[in-house]
Structure 1
Amino acid sequence: MRAVVIGSGHNGLLASYYLRKLGLEVILLEASHRVGGMTESYTVGRALVSRASYVLGLMPRQFIEEFDIPVIQNDPYQVIEYEGKLIPFHRDKERRLNVLGKYFPDFEEFERRVCLMKEIMSLFHFDVNPPSREKVLEVAERYGVPEIVRDTSRSFLSKYLPQEVHRYFIYPAMEESPAYMVAYFYSQWSHVRGGMGRVSEAIASKARSAGVLLFTGTKVEEIITSNGRVKGVRYQDKVVKADIVVSAISPVATFSMTPELADVKLDVGKSSWAKHNVIFKDMPRVPEALRPHLGGIIDLQSGEVVMPSAVDPTRGAHVLEFMGDPEEILQIFKGEVIFHEELTPSFAERYYHLPGGNLNHLPMRMPYLFDGRPVKGWGYRTPLKGLYITGAGTFPGGQVTGIPGFNVVTAVKEDLQRGGFFT
């Protein structure tokens, strides 16, 4: 039995590996000439840069261990700027709460409730039938945190933290999303040795070793179906027959290339972001207060900054990656810039084939949360037999987790075991 996977982002790679472990013949087709999607490292001279995604924090430990991903756990893992001070987030809970409590008296209660929300969502992470909002609320009420879906992120944060620091806990564009999103992003972040491309490279290596056939420069133009069943894919006037097709690209792109699903309309929203990758000739001059924190995330009023080369010698040069105001940030990190790249939604649409340049494939808000991602009640399956969907546009959502890639294979396995796959 043959399975074709479309897209070699980390979810597509992970899905191809686990499909192969089911004993299927697996062919992975990637439109670009490299694997990894937005988990990409690339070289500029002797420097190694994480082009798009730049830190790891939401991937379950089981995947990090399975694929031997080399994380660098700096402490503190994050600092935030508040009232002219840099406040560190330590990995040790007691130390972290002691420090944060001096500035934010209600921080301990904030973290307690966020951790309860994370515990609730962990109950559903590996469920191939994502929960409804009502189901999440039912469980949350038992845990005593119904605000996970009843409150907006803005109103939840306002109960415990001043407005000035909200941006460090939720993207401004997501403040009207449920408080669930605060818990989603609250994590102890780490660098990856060799950049984020090391994540995709590690998974791709295992997939190839397991027997996955991986082809780059192969843009799928149509998912072929007939009478409600998948038949294969077409690219460059070639047809690859398949019993199973798993699409790990944007659901918008998936449905547009599937004639029987072309009428399914999704709203990718309006993306407004910019990520900057900078290389300095020499170590930049930075304020004395920042120097102990260069190995973690530095959240300033002017933007979010990382300097992975401070803790990762494989980066080869002095690398700064940030999302924020370049003029202000480069006044804080001063030095001779020999390379400066800006990524924008239009770049992501062109280079990563993301409709609307949406990094999460779909907005991280209702109705595209829980079992509404991407279409109410679909989960990782589609109405067409043999056609499955995965990636950031499916539950639980965007960022580098690998959860959608794993779950879609569980759905395939269940359907195979249930029998009647070809009826």
Structure 2
Amino acid sequence: MLIRDARLAGGRRRDVRIESERIADVAAAGSLDEDGDDVVDADGRLLLPGAIDVHVHFRQPGYPHKETWATGSRSAAAGGVTTVVDQPNTDPPTVTGEAFAEKATLAADSLVDYGINGGVTEAWDPDSLFAAPLFALGEVFLADSTGDMGIDADLFADAVERAAAAGVPVTVHAEDASLFDQSVRAGDADGIGCDADADRWSAFRTAAAEARAVERAVEVASGADAQVHIAHTSTPEGIDAATAAGATCEVSPHHILLSRDDLSELGTYGRMNPPLRSEARRQAVFERVVDGTVDVVATDHAPHTVEEKERGLWDAPSGVPGVETMLPLLLDLARRDELTYARVRDLVSANPAAVFDLPRKGRIETGADADVVLVDPDTPREIRGDDLHSKCGWTPFEGRQGVFPDLTLVRGRVVYERVGAEERFGTPAGENVRR
């Protein structure tokens, strides 16, 4: 394939030739001969390296009514995500080599490339898990995305030491449950009516709980000389604690774009872990995304059914879908000059590839995997849950604008193409990035 006259994130117009799953040549626009290639005329549209979403929950095995590898990866491809990293809180949880192998079998349905995070619970088997082609050690500290609290401090220290010895980064969900405001839940028991007040979830899971957990995680990791990556930081204090200690961190689109001010409209659909924060904190988080403090944007794509999300504040599961809307939302911010296209590229492609040691991903250069996304920034469209491809069928970003892909390639294969109102998907051929 030859992609003719594409604009890269830095503004240069280039031809890009793809051969045998890799980028074979990048040259000035109009300088490469077609030579029998399948030619895509970009006509100045923006060409980006495929996004790497290092934090998704595709729900298999255990919860296919919420999402599957087939539906989740279709959603990813339609949103310009070419690699995903699945988290371990499935059923069974990915805490043994056997569970890893079961999930890898299901991942054969994926359109996009993938990594599989292992996790740490009281039942984990480090010997068999580290024998598996592990992407990274995922969500191991103080809370996981199910809301289950606590692992033993010694167990965490052991996991960090083993990860450091294996050269595996540790992805940490940092919330200290001991700092949650239990009086908020006690108020519900007194009949205050928390089910009608989704803001109470944010009041319950305090901002201080995140910052303190980050401090504890990086303190343990520093003693083992381990690489720590803090997942879905939601406060400026958490981000600053991570960066001050030399850890990397990620922010999710919902913590960039939504705040407690939105909860009157979102209701229980806005319940997530960590929760939405004040508008002032949201703005401070966004400033750190813009200025380069934040390393990565990742979605924590956590789909649940409409029925599940409408159970009431204390019974609804935490989490929102996001893998399909991450890149479109960021590109719309760039279209409106709130970010640069180069910064978007770094947040979702170049930096994730560097943090998680994926040297062939995240860049448009000779020799890199041909994971690319072609978009027209001048044609945003309204985000509607009915138009998205996640199995859950809803989005917290209903009605916002997004810049969606015209074409998504994974290692040179067309996995998604949109022409007018018609959409076409490729066939599943995703590979484990630790192959």
The TM-score range, normalised by the shorter chain, is under 0.3
Asked which structure has the greater RCO (Cα within 8 Å, sep 6+), the reply is 1
TM-score (norm 2): 0.25
